[in-house]
Structure 1
Amino acid sequence: MVEGVLIDWGGVLTTGLSDSIAKWIMADRINGDHYREIMRELVDRAYGGEGENIIHGLERGEIDGAVFERDLAARLVTLDGVPPEAEGLLERMFAGFDRVDAMYDMLREVRTNGVRTCLLSNSWSNTYPRDDWDEIFDAVVISGEVGMRKPEPRIFQHALGRIGLPGESCVFIDDIEANIVAARGLGIAGIHHRDADTTILELESLLRLPLRRA
């Protein structure tokens, strides 16, 4: 029986990261092919490789956003052949995130039915829109605030402790497969998020509850 839902923010409760990045690449005139090459190497190491890189430190809050912005800007190049402006780089990258209301409505239905909810998000020194979080979350775990990051097992264990449930009683929703694999290793059921309709349908099946509003 599922009694708890752990859920990511960016790309799950918001529109996809790739859409936001595409808007930023166009606005800042970034060389997109070069950007993708650089980020693929960084992200692959952060979520599946051995050793650590600057993303680990950023997500754990060990380095601040300004340090990461300067590092990333120095690696990138615009179509004009110069590095992009470092200050505010992360804010511009994520400015295209839009809230997905269907997912927020789903979480309200989940909580109304007595299922505990916990946001479990890796932060890139970004600001979160928390206005109605008290209505939908029993707990909030943000990597940069707790000094841990997905897919580290300890951050999942911390989140489970915050809602007082064992892994076997919970489901985790995320758009990054490596994080889902890590959660399943702790006995947590996983839903690999691709779009709101599919995720809500899968969660309805697990919870045996109707979660879509008419």
Structure 2
Amino acid sequence: MVLTGVLIDWGGVLTTSLSDSIARWIAADRIDGDHYRQVMRRMVDHAYGDGVGESVVHALERGEIDGPSFERDLAARLLTVDGVPPVAEGLLERMFAGFERVDAMYDMLRDVRKNGVKTCLLSNSWSNEYPRTHWDELFDAVVISGEVGMRKPEPRIFHHAVELIGLACEECVFIDDIEANILAARALGIAGIHHKDADSTIEELESLLSLTLRRA
């Protein structure tokens, strides 16, 4: 099957890594890092692993609760190094403030579109703002979880994304930095690239699409 569609995540793929942004926030807000990692590991493992039932992360990503509600919930679970909860208001904005765009990935998207490959942003939102300037040059479609009421790794959001660009699952490749999302896509017949860095992702995508793509 010839691949003619690219589905791609935003945070940690088109941007620098989430861990880098979180590290800056932990330092700036004087968060107890060890406690944060314990709390977040439980929340993320439940949301993307084998957790039973719904969680506040599921609700946030589907847009069923708003950002301020999640900020209050998360702040109540965390501690600063002074032993008190961090300020809830603006917590998510501060957490993601360290994201920086990765130009090589944006150049790659422009290249694949020039070669007739359809592109779709497929991102789980944590009520965050997206830098949408020039998105019409990058994407044929945009699927943001909180705007469509679905989230990765739910199969329905992948089906929705491929339908928007007029392709079948077997005609698409999906790029994401979370392995659970990649495994979910592969189960539907979508090729998957587990993103680690721009160079390795672009090299793998070149092989799958039989194209030469820019890295700088």
TM over 0.5: yes
| Partner residue, 1:46 | 47
Superposed, 1:22-37 pairs within 5 Å as: 22-37=23-38
| Partner residue, 1:114 | 116
Superposed, 1:132-151 pairs within 5 Å as: 132-151=134-153
SS in 2 for 1:103: helix
Deviation at 1:152?
0.1
Separation in structure 2 between the aligned mates of residue 47 and residue 173 of structure 1, nearest angstrom: 16
Equivalent AA in structure 2 for residue 195 of structure 1: D
Unaligned residue ranges in structure 2 (runs of 5+): none
- For residues 77-104 of structure 1, give each alpha carbon's deviation from its aligned partner in whole angstroms, at most 9, with x where no partner exists: 0011110000000000000000000000
Equivalent AA in structure 1 for residue 158 of structure 2: F
Deviation at 1:212?
1.4
Separation in structure 2 between the aligned mates of residue 130 and residue 199 of structure 1, nearest angstrom: 22
| Partner residue, 2:84 | 82
- Work out whether residues 105 and 215 of structure 2, in 8 Å CA contact, stay in contact via their aligned partners in 1: no
SS in 2 for 1:123: coil
Separation in structure 2 between the aligned mates of residue 33 and residue 93 of structure 1, nearest angstrom: 16
Separation in structure 1 between the aligned mates of residue 17 and residue 49 of structure 2, nearest angstrom: 21
Separation in structure 1 between the aligned mates of residue 185 and residue 215 of structure 2, nearest angstrom: 29
Separation in structure 1 between the aligned mates of residue 188 and residue 72 of structure 2, nearest angstrom: 36
- Work out whether residues 173 and 192 of structure 2, in 8 Å CA contact, stay in contact via their aligned partners in 1: yes
Separation in structure 2 between the aligned mates of residue 176 and residue 56 of structure 1, nearest angstrom: 15
| Partner residue, 2:106 | 104
Equivalent AA in structure 2 for residue 134 of structure 1: D
Separation in structure 2 between the aligned mates of residue 213 and residue 178 of structure 1, nearest angstrom: 26
- For residues 15-45 of structure 1, give each alpha carbon's deviation from its aligned partner in whole angstroms, at most 9, with x where no partner exists: 0000000000000000000000000000000
Equivalent AA in structure 1 for residue 62 of structure 2: R
| Partner residue, 1:2 | 3
TM-score, with structure 1 as normaliser: 0.99
TM-score, with structure 2 as normaliser: 0.98
Identify which of 57, 60, 66 aligns with 2:59.
57
| Partner residue, 2:72 | 70
Unaligned residue ranges in structure 1 (runs of 5+): none
Structure 2 CA distance for partners of 1:193 and 1:213, relative to 1, 3 Å: closer
Separation in structure 2 between the aligned mates of residue 199 and residue 212 of structure 1, nearest angstrom: 12
Separation in structure 2 between the aligned mates of residue 188 and residue 129 of structure 1, nearest angstrom: 27
Equivalent AA in structure 2 for residue 58 of structure 1: L
Deviation at 1:51?
1.6
Separation in structure 2 between the aligned mates of residue 73 and residue 95 of structure 1, nearest angstrom: 17
Deviation at 1:213?
5.6
Equivalent AA in structure 1 for residue 36 of structure 2: Y
Separation in structure 1 between the aligned mates of residue 215 and residue 175 of structure 2, nearest angstrom: 20
Over the residues paired in the alignment, what is the CA RMSD in angstroms?
0.7
Separation in structure 2 between the aligned mates of residue 102 and residue 6 of structure 1, nearest angstrom: 16
Equivalent AA in structure 1 for residue 213 of structure 2: L
Separation in structure 2 between the aligned mates of residue 212 and residue 131 of structure 1, nearest angstrom: 21
